[in-house]
Amino acid sequence: MVGGGGAGSGMAASLALQGPGFECGVQIRWLPGLAEACHHHAMDTIRTPTTAPVTHPRRVERLVAGQPTSDGAGVKLTRVLTQPLQRRLDPFLMLDAFGSDQPGDYIAGFPDHPHRGFETITYMLAGRMRHRDSAGNQGLLEDGAVQWMTAGRGVIHSELPEQTEGVMEGFQLWLNLHSADKMQQPAYRDIPSAQIPEHTAPGLRVRVIAGSSHGVAGAVQRPRTEPLYLDIHLDPGARLEQPLPAGHNAFVYVYRGTVTVGQTAVPAQRMAVLAQDAAADGVLLQAGEAPARALLIAGAPLGEPIAQYGPFVMNTRDELITAVEDFQAGRLA
């Protein structure tokens, strides 16, 4: 994706502030019916032996509704993480959700465009997307697959649907690089669905794209930003407790059903920004009466200046000017 559309247009993000609900300390990973008792503090702690303890879960700081926009050659998508949230959710720069069964919403795709200074992580829930880049790499993303691209000093690539009908659904996340890593050689990796490790338990399936969950190491590990990227599938009433380092920024994006995060019900198509709390050791997620799915994304903040011009993300304005000059002079190809 290109990083144009609504992100640079100065539109105010739609932020709905949530009050600080009290937290329930009960740890039940999957006990439908019993789990409801959490809300009344009537339960003692119940924990399966393999569950890492979360004794002080984070609360939800606010709910964010995405911005409908279009990008590339006219692909309709929802920009969930927008520029005004980049500092708050450092090291994450953008999250786009796309999902449609109308080919006109996605068929034009994202023709050749450059990137410099960060990583793009594309996760296809459904559909087929072909990508090609100026280094000669190409690949086909299909249902459940991930492409992890480190743009580094620069690539020019295209992301084009290879289907003319049916459902296309997925996400693209932008993860910043430390200043020392921004000009590294570009790299990318295609990860077929079958190669994404999973943690499963009754009522629970966690696809571990990056980081680790319950002893399962994810498909990707990255230094410095230490990203955690989980796709969590919950049966009705099922519960996941996930440890998180206290200093990491974290958010949940619900894309099916409703997930209670701490004490806050988060409906589909909403992002819950998790509060920073030095005493917190993780997060608790629980499905309601319907099956639910959500992404849980967290990482170590870089704490560096962020300068973005569309598909270039550097630390200073001068570096952006250099990026544009390099692109115009053909030095990214």
The site for Fe ion (CB under 5 A) is made up of 1
The residue among 160 and 228 lying less far from Fe ion, judged by its C-beta, is 160
Beta strands in 4-143 (DSSP E): 14-17, 60-65, 67-71, 75-81, 92-100, 110-115, 118-126, 129-133, 138-141
> Which letter does DSSP use for residue 267 in this model?
-
DSSP 276: P
- Our CB check for Fe ion shows the closer of 19 and 136 to be 136
Annotate 21-40 with b (16+ C-beta within 10 A) or e (fewer). eeebebbbbbbbeebbbbee
Q: Which residue has the tokens 């105010």?
A: 12
Q: Which is nearer to Fe ion, 1 or 146 (CB)?
A: 1
Q: Distance (Å, rounded) from C-alpha 313 to C-alpha 63?
A: 26
Task: Provide the minimum distance between the beta carbon of 193 and Fe ion in the complex, in angstroms, as a whole number.
Answer: 21
Smallest distance, Å, CB 117 to Fe ion?
Answer: 13
Residue 26 or 75 having the CB closest to Fe ion: 75
Q: Which is nearer to Fe ion, 55 or 328 (CB)?
A: 328
| Residue given tokens 């709910």 in the structure block | 63
- Min separation Cβ 70 and Fe ion, Å: 14
By beta carbon distance, the residue nearest Fe ion is: 1
Q: Give the single-character DSSP code of 127.
A: S
Q: Closest approach of Cβ 188 to Fe ion, in Å?
A: 11
Question: Distance from first CA to last CA of the chain, Å, rounded?
Answer: 17
Nearer to Fe ion, 133 or 241 (CB): 133
Half-sphere exposure of 309 (CA within 13 A, CB side): 15
Identity of the amino acid at 166: G
Residue 254's DSSP bridge partners are 270, 294
Which residue, 295, 291, 307, is CA-closest to 255? 295
From the CB of 44, what's the least distance to Fe ion, in Å?
50
Q: Which CA distances in Å does 207 have to 95, 195, 320?
A: 18, 10, 36
Nearer CB in complex with Fe ion: 1/228: 1
Least distance from Fe ion to the Cβ atom of residue 322, Å = 20
Closest distance of CB 103 from Fe ion, Å: 20
Nearer to Fe ion among residue 1 and residue 252 (C-beta): 1
Three-state DSSP state, 253 = strand
Amino acid, single-letter form, for residue 67:
Q
Residue 181 CB, nearest approach to Fe ion (Å): 18
